[in-house]
Structure 1
Amino acid sequence: MLFAGLPQGAVPKLERPGPLRERVYEALLELITIRALRPGQHLVESELAGQLGVSRQPVREALQRLNTEGWVDLRPAQGAFVHEPTEEEADQLLSVRTLLEAEAGRLAAAHADADGVAALEELCDRGEAAVAEDDVDLAVALNAEFHAKVMELAKNVVLSALAAQVGRRVRWYYTPVARRRGKQSWTEHRELIAAIATHDEQRATEIMRAHTEHTRRTYHEREKG
């Protein structure tokens, strides 16, 4: 079974009416992002259609789109498979992420107000609680939300748009190392909040750069630990 081991109800039945093709695409992309559909896994159209409660046509269209975007590999005479990222692909994306996030940290320190800092602190509280409860999926989601909030506080729409383009893949790469990063990741988030709260742009840049580099190194070391 494609979704063996997932909690009951984790795979959504897609509601009608609506842009069904887009809903199927989003559902499959989310399942790939959280690694419910694992890298290298064979994706059978009929099984996906049955799990999602739709016909095969929107599934086929979604798989073609995911192939174009690099999430799925369509192999002649074999079918569709979740893409298996190479170490080079991961390194390139996570390196770009470091550049974007470091600048976001600097701009957040320049522009954030007390409400923005409070929002970061609240997310950090929730993230630490998720780690304490070993809720990896929630910790990953809150990590993404925390970084998105920093990007919002940076108040640069171009930077935010660029970050959004890589955000989903960052989650994809972060998920397998989230437990290993664990509490340390949120300790680094606390340090970043302190720098943003005091409007220390240089410190915020340094902390965010080091923070994202830690994630990149942990990803590459994940098979060794």
Structure 2
Amino acid sequence: MPSTELPQQLAARRIDRPVPLRERVYQAMQELIISRQLAPGQHLVESELAEMLGVSRQPIREALQLLNSEGWVDLRPGYGAFVHAPTDTEVDQLLVVRAALEAESARLAALGADEEGVAKLRKLCAQGEAAVEADDIDGMVAANADLHRCVTELSGNQVLLDFVSQVDRRVRWYYQPIARHRGSKSWQEHAKLIDAIEKGDADGAAKIMREHTERTRQSYLEQRANDPEPEEVPVQVRSRRRRTAPRG
């Protein structure tokens, strides 16, 4: 009977699959949207994006299609592409789901976190506090996302981590405009959460996380009420004149 095992020289050979250019452009544009360097409602011009990212217009066009399919960009026939401006309803719904997922993450983390895990949380909390002191918005957002992800990792539940990861980028997007407003209060809440996790207080950790995410949700809605983001951006579209043959 012939062997079903591959020869060693073939088994060791791996096909290197570089990330397609459109995927890298997609990731770059997504980060620009999350960081609000491309603002909600902003008109996205292919030629300008291509020049900014140093690529041709084709991967920009493909990336815009991907971003549109995932709700980051709106494609409007006759007008072009625009950064999606999230409605209050969609933000509210996502943050409610996030609160439920992360409260369970905190509960499980309190039951299973070891000294190393708690130390990592404390380090991330210190980074966030330092970012607040420096008024570093990007640092606050990054540290906040890393700390919340760490809590979910410490839960030990891979399915829960997968679900939280799906909403993580949206949460960063929504958190960006309120990071300064939440400021030190957010990190005081994080410190209390870490204390509960270290003590193994599962119910207390879940309660603190639920209240923490609810305050973030309320802060975002208050910010939107005071400074609403545009949902539609009027664009002047030039009509194309038909060329007619010169009369002789």
TM-score (norm 1): 0.91
Let me know the Cα RMSD of the aligned residues: 1.0
**What's the offset of the Cα at 1:18?**
4.5
Instruction: Report the equivalent of 2:100.
Output: 99
Instruction: Report the equivalent of 1:121.
Output: 122
Instruction: Report the equivalent of 2:177.
Output: 176
Q: Secondary structure at the match of 1:62?
A: helix
- List per-residue Cα deviations over 1:126-161 (Å, max 9, x = no partner): 110100110011110110000010010001000000
Cα distance between partner residues in 1 of 2:155 and 2:179: 25
Q: Does 1:59 align with 2:57?
A: no
Cα distance between partner residues in 2 of 1:107 and 1:31: 34
Instruction: Report the equivalent of 1:160.
Output: 161
Instruction: Report the equivalent of 1:139.
Output: 140
Cα distance between partner residues in 1 of 2:146 and 2:130: 15
Q: Which amino acid aligns with 1:90?
A: V
Question: Where does structure 1 lack aligned partners over 5 or more consecutive residues?
Answer: 1-16
Cα distance between partner residues in 2 of 1:191 and 1:91: 25
**What's the offset of the Cα at 1:19?**
1.8
Q: Secondary structure at the match of 1:37?
A: coil
Alignment of 1:73-112 (within 5 A): 73-112=74-113
Q: Secondary structure at the match of 2:226?
A: coil
Q: Does 1:188 align with 2:189?
A: yes
Instruction: Report the equivalent of 1:224.
Output: 226
**What's the offset of the Cα at 1:224?**
3.2
Q: Secondary structure at the match of 2:40?
A: coil
Structure 1 runs (4+) greater than 2 angstroms displaced: none
Q: Which structure has the bigger radius of gyration?
A: 2
Cα distance between partner residues in 2 of 1:60 and 1:110: 47
Q: Which amino acid aligns with 1:43?
A: L
Q: Which amino acid aligns with 2:71?
A: G
Q: Does 1:197 align with 2:193?
A: no
Cα distance between partner residues in 2 of 1:27 and 1:138: 18
Instruction: Report the equivalent of 1:7.
Output: none
Q: Secondary structure at the match of 2:74?
A: strand
**What's the offset of the Cα at 1:187?**
0.2
- List per-residue Cα deviations over 1:158-183 (Å, max 9, x = no partner): 00000011000000111111000000
Cα distance between partner residues in 1 of 2:66 and 2:20: 15
Q: Secondary structure at the match of 1:73?
A: strand
How many residue pairs end up in the alignment?
209
Question: Where does structure 2 lack aligned partners over 5 or more consecutive residues?
Answer: 1-17, 228-248
Cα distance between partner residues in 2 of 1:34 and 1:155: 29
Cα distance between partner residues in 1 of 2:123 and 2:174: 25
Instruction: Report the equivalent of 1:23.
Output: 24
Instruction: Report the equivalent of 1:209.
Output: 210
**What's the offset of the Cα at 1:92?**
0.3
**What's the offset of the Cα at 1:104?**
0.3
Cα distance between partner residues in 2 of 1:160 and 1:204: 17
Q: Which amino acid aligns with 1:202?
A: D
Cα distance between partner residues in 1 of 2:184 and 2:37: 23
- List per-residue Cα deviations over 1:16-50 (Å, max 9, x = no partner): x7421110000000100111100000000010011
Q: Which amino acid aligns with 2:89?
A: E
